[in-house]
């Protein structure tokens, strides 16, 4: 996914510097040419030899040493497709925000005309400091991108927001930035994701095996293409994506209300959630005890969120549905698209390897209400999400009022 791309990876003086090795390794595995710049403080935490071994390229540490007076920062700035600083300390964020260029990394960042991704990592109190937050806001207004930080326990033992984002999240953002599009800027996208839980008693519930990975990938891809994203999510074990609005729900009823409330302001709706079709007609107030014989549970249908959205489509809105089947999904997806007013159905056979639940890849077919089908090869779910949004933009181009 990064074949032919050159990534400049800046590493600064944080205890999280050791995780830069994982970032570099994943970038290389995705096909990127990786050039690493390390600050003097970064070399106190991780060896340049480590980063050189992983990247396969010499690590740059000084502006002039060993380069015969060549303008290293300008050469790298011209060759790179994206600059990533991971980890980015409060110090380097402040320097960039203030236009300070006193070492190779900060000089490169100021000379670089392409996208810059800063991945903060620091003590939570430092991250919450108003000066740091001001610097981040000012850089965001100037077009700099940020990934993380996450909340949790940091190396010093404090709890709070300051942990470096997971390497796979950083790499995914790099992939999005290297695609070089911002074609959803100003577009409002609502995505549903994950399974719903329908309570049977205070202890038990009915649900399904959806992990939410596909819906979360669509939300992140839309964010990376510049959209204003609302993610309505059932319970998942996935980390909360940054840079978008997360609306957590649990039941199909709660998801319906969340979608209904935000539908009027949405330009694109991607319904990737695995919403329960039925729920217990009665929820026991106390735990149902095991007893001899069978237990009969009466079920009633839940609200059909996709059909409701289809009935209330405004001119120019594009609606995408998902159909997870145990067999070729084309026929059912075609019927579902026509019946519920979807502009595109994304179908998959969950019994096929690489297309089931809780895996990183998917194997899908795009089904349109006019009878067209496009079968995609197996690919990463983020790449599938990108292709879904490509189709959405094509549909928007042909929809009156879009």
Residue 386: count other Cβ atoms within 10 Å of its Cβ.
23
Q: What is the pLDDT of residues 94-131, one digit of tens each?
A: 999 999 999 999 999 999 999 999 999 999 999 999 99
Q: What's residue 138's pLDDT? A: 96
Q: What's residue 66's pLDDT? A: 56
Q: With a cut of 60, say whether residue 246 has pLDDT above it.
A: yes
Topology of the domain comprising 188-397: Rossmann fold (3.40.50)
Strand partners, 193: 233
SS3 per-residue string spanning 329-390: CHHHHHHHHHHHCCCEEEEEECCCCCCCCCCCEECEEEECCCCCEEECCCEEHHHHHHHHHH
Q: With a cut of 80, say whether residue 345 has pLDDT above it.
A: yes
Q: What is the DSSP letter of 65?
A: T
Q: Among all chains, which residue has been given the structure tokens 């209300």? A: 257
Topology of the domain comprising 6-178: Rossmann fold (3.40.50)
Q: How far is CA 196 from the centre of its chain?
A: 20
Q: With a cut of 60, say whether residue 70 has pLDDT above it.
A: no
Q: With a cut of 90, say whether residue 71 has pLDDT above it.
A: no
C-alpha–C-alpha distance, residues 4 and 25, integer Å: 16
Q: What's residue 41's pLDDT? A: 96
Q: What is the pLDDT of residues 360-390, one digit of tens each?
A: 899 999 999 999 999 999 999 999 999 999 9
Q: What's residue 398's pLDDT? A: 62
The domain ranges of the chain are 6-178, 188-397
Average pLDDT for 260-289:
96
| 157 confidence band (pLDDT: 50, 70, 90) | confident
Q: With a cut of 70, say whether residue 400 has pLDDT above it.
A: no
Q: What is the mean pLDDT of the chain?
A: 92
Residues in the chain: 402
Report whether 73 contacts 111 (CB < 8 A): yes
Residues of the chain with pLDDT > 70, as a percent, come to 96
Residues with a catalytic annotation lie at 156
Report whether 103 contacts 91 (CB < 8 A): no
Residue 71: C-alpha distances to residues 48, 59, 81 (Å): 21, 15, 18
Report whether 42 contacts 12 (CB < 8 A): yes
Same fold, 6-178 and 188-397: yes
Pairing state between β 318-325 and 268-271: parallel
C-alpha–C-alpha distance, residues 323 and 346, integer Å: 6
Q: How far is CA 223 from the centre of its chain?
A: 7
Q: How far is CA 248 from the centre of its chain?
A: 16
């Amino acid at each position: 996914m990064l074949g032919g791309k050159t990534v400049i990876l800046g590493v600064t003086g944080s205890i999280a510097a050791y995780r830069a090795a994982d970032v570099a390794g994943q970038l290389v595995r995705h096909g990127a040419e990786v050039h690493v710049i390390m600050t003097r403080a970064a070399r106190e935490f991780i060896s340049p030899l480590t980063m050189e071994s992983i990247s396969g390229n010499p690590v740059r540490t000084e502006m002039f040493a060993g380069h015969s007076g060549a303008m290293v920062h300008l050469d790298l700035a011209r060759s790179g497709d994206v600059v990533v600083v991971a980890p980015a300390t409060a110090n380097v964020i402040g320097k960039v925000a203030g236009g300070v260029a006193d070492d190779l990394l900060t000089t490169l960042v100021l000379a670089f005309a392409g996208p810059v991704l800063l991945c903060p990592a620091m003590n939570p109190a430092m991250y919450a400091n108003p000066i740091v937050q001001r610097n981040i806001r000012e850089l965001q207004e100037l077009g700099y991108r940020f990934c993380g930080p996450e909340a949790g326990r940091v190396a010093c033992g404090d709890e709070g927001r300051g942990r470096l984002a997971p390497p796979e999240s950083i790499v995914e953002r790099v992939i999005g930035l290297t695609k070089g599009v911002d074609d959803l800027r100003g577009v409002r996208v609502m995505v549903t994701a994950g399974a719903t839980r329908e309570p049977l008693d205070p202890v038990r519930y009915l649900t399904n095996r959806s992990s939410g990975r596909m819906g979360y990938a669509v939300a992140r891809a839309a964010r990376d293409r510049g959209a204003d994203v609302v993610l309505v999510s059932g319970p998942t074990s996935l980390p909360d994506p940054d840079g978008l609005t997360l609306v957590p729900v649990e039941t199909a009823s709660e998801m319906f209300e969340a979608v209904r409330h935000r539908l009027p302001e949405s330009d694109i709706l991607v319904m990737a959630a695995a919403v329960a079709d039925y729920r217990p007609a009665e929820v026991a107030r106390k735990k149902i005890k095991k007893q001899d014989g069978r237990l009969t549970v009466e079920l009633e249908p839940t609200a059909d969120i996709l059909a409701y959205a289809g009935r209330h489509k405004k001119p120019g809105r594009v609606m995408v549905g998902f159909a997870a089947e145990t067999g070729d999904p084309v026929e059912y997806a075609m019927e579902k698209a026509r019946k519920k007013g979807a502009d595109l159905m994304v179908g998959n056979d969950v019994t096929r390897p690489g297309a089931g639940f809780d895996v990183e890849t998917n194997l899908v077919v795009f089904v349109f209400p006019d009878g067209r089908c496009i079968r995609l090869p197996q690919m990463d779910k983020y790449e599938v999400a990108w292709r879904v949004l490509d189709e959405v933009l094509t549909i928007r181009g042909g929809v009156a009022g879009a």
